[in-house]
Amino acid sequence: MSVTRLLALAAIVLVLASCAPSAPPTGAAAAPPETAEQFVARVNADLDRMGMELAAAGWTQATYITVDTQLLESKANERYLAYLNQAVEESKRYDGQKLSPETARALLKLKLNSPAPAPRDAAKRARMTELESELEAKYGKGKYCPEGGKPCLTLDQLSDILAQSRNYDELTRAWKGWHDVGASMRADYTEFVGLANEGARDLGFKDLGVLWRANYDMSPEDFDALSEKLWQQVKPLYDGLHCYARGRLAKKYGEDKVPAGKPIPAQLLGNMWAQSWDKIYGDLLTPYPGASVASADAALKAQKWDAVKMAHSAEAFYTSMGFQKLPDAFWERSMLTRPRDREVVCHASAWDMHPGTDVRVKACLEPNEEDLYTIYHELGHDYYFLAYAKLPFLFRDGANDGFHEAIGDTINLSVTPAYLAKIGLIPQAKESREALINQQMKMALTKIAFLPFGRLIDQWRWKVFSGEITPDHYNSSWWELRRRYQGIVPPVPRTEADFDPAAKFHIPDNTPYTRYFLSFILQFQFHRALCQASGFSGPLYECSNFGNKAAGDKFEAMLAAGASAPWQDTLEKLTGSRDIDASAINEYFQPLIEWLKTQNEGQKCGW
Ligand code: X8Z
Ligand code: ZN
């Protein structure tokens, strides 16, 4: 379950039989009409209660998928959404009134609270939440069962094959096996889109995509322009990386399979969605094998790190910067490994169950470097929850959703080789130009390879919601975008009998995805600002804020503001700038940018 949805969840509960906002206090004499401030206070209080119930139902379903938990979650969601509809309706009393900026902001946040607002019609609302639970459950339970009676494989097992196998056909089978899971979600998703769009229209938005884009303190059109500007700023680096990776893959798999000047087959990049390529760094993409960057994988296994130890290590990073320890509930109630006896949603997520006292992580951690980064990432969400716990419900959120995603990743940028050596996970690195380029390459395969993927998912969804992409073109338009942005193609022909978008968690889960695109750029801006705050003056890629309280204080101040102010104000306080821009990420990767230029000279780049 995504953070947005969690936040929505962390916002819902109706213990009452009715779904209407609690009645305003009435006196014996005719009470004066409720002011907008009073209305907002009442809604915040209602949502506090409802949020906890929704979070509890959501947590129960995601950590124990059964028809019953699915039903309970969809019913809790239904009540929550009914409440939101009713509250938004009532808030129209204040349309056209002069309100304080804070009250106006709270009313806007009320309208934008759910990534899938429900239609007014009760039967349609019930159907929509049923579909949402069904989609989530189908993704969570998804498996590939090979012919010949061999055991079925889960997404984690198939992902391991994508990461480890270098056999073209085996990779293709694992890729296809998982992607075929999407087909069973096509009809549900199509129906869901119709209903959620109707919900968005009932709230006065043109469609659901416009509602999503209205949550960035600027017009949806300006937000489109901002996303495009950012993409153009980082595209040259992606193109260089693509060209380099393709050349290496051609050497491994042959020019016939990976031809120059053409897109790369999607199953060869080490990840199910080709969204990060670091899994093929070690054996296929290391620039200088002699100066190789050590991976923490070996030590995590050899030293028998388990999920709890990984989480403690993440907590220790945050406390080293002055953050508090995690509450006891985190350790008592989180799900950190895949349970053996039941179906769960393994995709990692962070949960705000009870403001300030009960934050959790749900993940299926294994002792490897990727999952170490994942738990540092998830704790970023939890520390955000804790920092803004005292704010009213409608402001308990990220400055924008990209901020929420960027907190833990900013910390991860401080997980440098020097830090990993300090905690005993890799040997002390010998410094050299070659080692630097290796390290930069490894980072770029995580951070730069991701960018077009982060951008295209919602390019697809915005068009699906606007009707520009119709169901009979769902899959072909998906691959058109994958080809255009990422420069990849499916390993086997795909048709409209397939539904490959649903093979990615955030589509069935209906979590907006542009947040990650923003986060992958913002986190470098945050990192640069924190490094400045800590007095660091060397190159950005060498900076680690481990143990730095000055950086921690500055960061925590930003987190504590939650969504109470436009993100531009919040960003300015931390970085001195009101713009999201790619200068920090380009600065960070300067050595690699130069290296790729020479490396790719004379190559047939592009696709
Ligand atoms: O979904 C996530 C997190 C949970 S918020 C694990 N991420 C995106 C993904 O896995 O697709 C983190 C990076 C991108
Ligand atoms: Zn996240």
Query: Count of domains in the chain?
Result: 1
- Which H or E run contains 572? helix 567-575
- Report the chain's C-alpha Rg in angstroms: 24
332 is catalytic: no
> Residue 585 and residue 225: Cα distance in Å, rounded?
19
Q: Which two tokens stand for residue 11?
A: 């916002």
> Residue 517 and residue 231: Cα distance in Å, rounded?
9
377 is catalytic: yes
Is 90 domain-assigned? no
Q: How far is the CA of 378 from the centre of ligand 1 (A)?
A: 9
Residue 27: per-residue pLDDT: 57
Q: Which two tokens stand for residue 583?
A: 């200068």
Q: Is the CB of 516 under 6 A from ligand 1?
A: yes
The full DSSP string for 505-569 is TTTTTT---HHHHHHHHHHHHHHHHHHHHTT--S-GGG---TT-HHHHHHHHHHHHTTTSS-HHH
Ligand nearest to the CA of 404: 2
Model confidence at 28, in pLDDT bands (50, 70, 90)?
A: low
387 is catalytic: no
In percent, how much of the chain has pLDDT > 90? 93
In percent, how much of the chain has pLDDT > 70? 96
Is 235 domain-assigned? no
Model confidence over 386-409: pLDDT tens digits?
Answer: 999 999 999 999 999 999 999 999
Q: How far is the CA of 403 from the centre of ligand 1 (A)?
A: 13
Return the best residue to mutate from 1, 162, 374, 377 for the ligand 1 pocket (most ligand atoms within 8 A of CB): 377
**pTM of the predicted protein model:** 0.95
Is 412 domain-assigned? yes
Domain that holds residue 368: 297-432+523-564
Residue 19: per-residue pLDDT: 55
Q: Which two tokens stand for residue 530?
A: 């924190």
Q: Cβ(392)–Cβ(106) under 8 Å?
A: yes
316 is catalytic: no
Residue 38 CA, chain-centre distance (Å), reads 34
Which residue is closest in CA terms to ligand 1's atom 12? 516
Place of tokens 């409440």: 83
Residue 292: per-residue pLDDT: 73
Residue 30: per-residue pLDDT: 76
Q: Which two tokens stand for residue 494?
A: 């795909």
94 is catalytic: no
pLDDT above 80: residue 372: yes
Ligand nearest to the CA of 373: 1
Residue 430: per-residue pLDDT: 85
Q: How far is the CA of 95 from the centre of ligand 1 (A)?
A: 37
> Residue 382 and residue 356: Cα distance in Å, rounded?
10
348 is catalytic: yes
Report helix, strand or coil for 1.
Answer: coil
Residue whose C-alpha is closest to residue 56's, from 20, 15, 13: 13
How far are the Cα atoms of 222, 293, 416 from residue 430, in angstroms, in the given order? 46, 9, 13
Is 333 domain-assigned? yes
Model confidence over 250-266: pLDDT tens digits?
Answer: 999 999 999 999 999 99
| The ligand 1 atom nearest the CA atom of 2 | 5
Is 77 domain-assigned? no
Is 579 domain-assigned? no
Q: Which two tokens stand for residue 261?
A: 């000047």
Residue 7: per-residue pLDDT: 46
> Residue 396 and residue 562: Cα distance in Å, rounded?
6
Model confidence over 90-148: pLDDT tens digits?
Answer: 999 999 999 999 999 999 999 999 999 999 999 999 999 999 999 999 999 999 999 99
> Residue 278 and residue 443: Cα distance in Å, rounded?
8
Q: How far is the CA of 29 from the centre of ligand 2 (A)?
A: 51
Model confidence at 4, in pLDDT bands (50, 70, 90)?
A: very low
Residue 16: per-residue pLDDT: 36
pLDDT above 50: residue 188: yes
516 is catalytic: yes
Residues 332-359: what's their mean pLDDT?
A: 97
> Residue 280 and residue 248: Cα distance in Å, rounded?
10
Model confidence at 13, in pLDDT bands (50, 70, 90)?
A: very low
Is 414 domain-assigned? yes
pLDDT above 90: residue 351: yes
Is 476 domain-assigned? no
Residue 29: per-residue pLDDT: 72
Residue 25: per-residue pLDDT: 64
Start-to-end Cα distance in the chain: 35
Model confidence over 494-532: pLDDT tens digits?
Answer: 999 999 999 999 999 999 999 999 999 999 999 999 999
Q: How far is the CA of 256 from the centre of ligand 2 (A)?
A: 38
pLDDT above 70: residue 12: no
pLDDT above 60: residue 3: no
Among 347, 354, 404, 527, which one carries the catalytic annotation? Answer: 347
pLDDT above 80: residue 214: yes
Among 387, 506, 556, 584, which one carries the catalytic annotation? Answer: 506
Mean pLDDT of the chain: 95
Model confidence over 550-606: pLDDT tens digits?
Answer: 999 999 999 999 999 999 999 999 999 999 999 999 999 999 999 999 999 999 999
